[in-house]
Chains A and B, each alone.
Chain A
């Protein structure tokens, strides 16, 4: 199975700050990488697919980059509603594995 390693495990950011979350795949997955945000008690929400494509309705302060084995999610201009847990997920091979999650809090 492809292992997805996320870092950091948690971070806190001030209002307006830019943060980045990294995701490392144990083997090449081309650009078959998605990012999700999950808020407490809610289902995950797709933010980014194909590593850098923004899902409809997602604010443009979210952006994704990377290919192969290294990927990152950038959140510019941190807002209170951006608090939550973020997961990466590879869609290259089954099982479609998820990263371990990054908890983002407002400082």
Chain B
């Protein structure tokens, strides 16, 4: 059974940093590109970052470019999102997701990040 389990969220002040983790199981993690997608409270879905299966390439949404860094450790089946210079508009549920064909076939349960003074 495929599982993606996020952790590391919480309440932080503007300007702070936070690092999210996503532990994968049930599939060959090292063979798939992995993504982070977020959803602000009562809002829609926003794709924010991708890392290729071998970390050879990474892409970011303009809204997080230069502040967030996606990485992975294939030996630990773990995906990361390092978030710096956090702003109130970064408050959201953060999901990691596995990409398949043209869509995301597995999602984690999500981890909440709240940025507030």
A→B interface (CB under 8 Å): 1, 31-36, 38, 43-46, 48-51, 53, 55, 87, 89-92, 94-101
Contacts and interface: CB of A to CB of B under 8 A. Distances in A.
Contact of B104 (A33, A34, A51, A99): A34
21 contacts: A33-B102, A34-B101, A34-B103, A34-B104, A36-B104, A43-B108, A43-B110, A44-B95, A44-B104, A46-B104, A46-B105, A49-B100, A49-B101, A49-B105, A50-B102, A87-B44, A89-B45, A91-B103, A95-B47, A95-B59, A96-B50
Contacts of A49: 100-103, 105
A55 B106 CA distance: 11
Chain B at the A interface: SS class: strand
A74 B7 CA distance: 36
Chain A at the B interface: SS class: loop
Nearest to B45: A98
Contacts of B95: 43-44
Interface of B: 35, 44-47, 50, 59, 61-62, 95, 99-105, 107-110
B104 to A, nearest CB: 6
A48 to B, nearest CB: 8
Most buried by B among A44, A51, A96: A96
Contacts of A94: 50, 59
Given A87-B45, A95-B47, A98-B47, A43 B105 contact: no
Nearest to B95: A43
B6 to A, nearest CB: 10
Contact of A98 (B44, B100, B107): B44
Given A96-B47, A98-B44, 10 more contacts: A32-B102, A36-B104, A49-B105, A51-B102, A91-B102, A92-B102, A95-B47, A95-B59, A98-B46, A101-B44
Contacts of A53: 101
B64 to A, nearest CB: 10
Most buried by A among B61, B95, B100, B104: B104
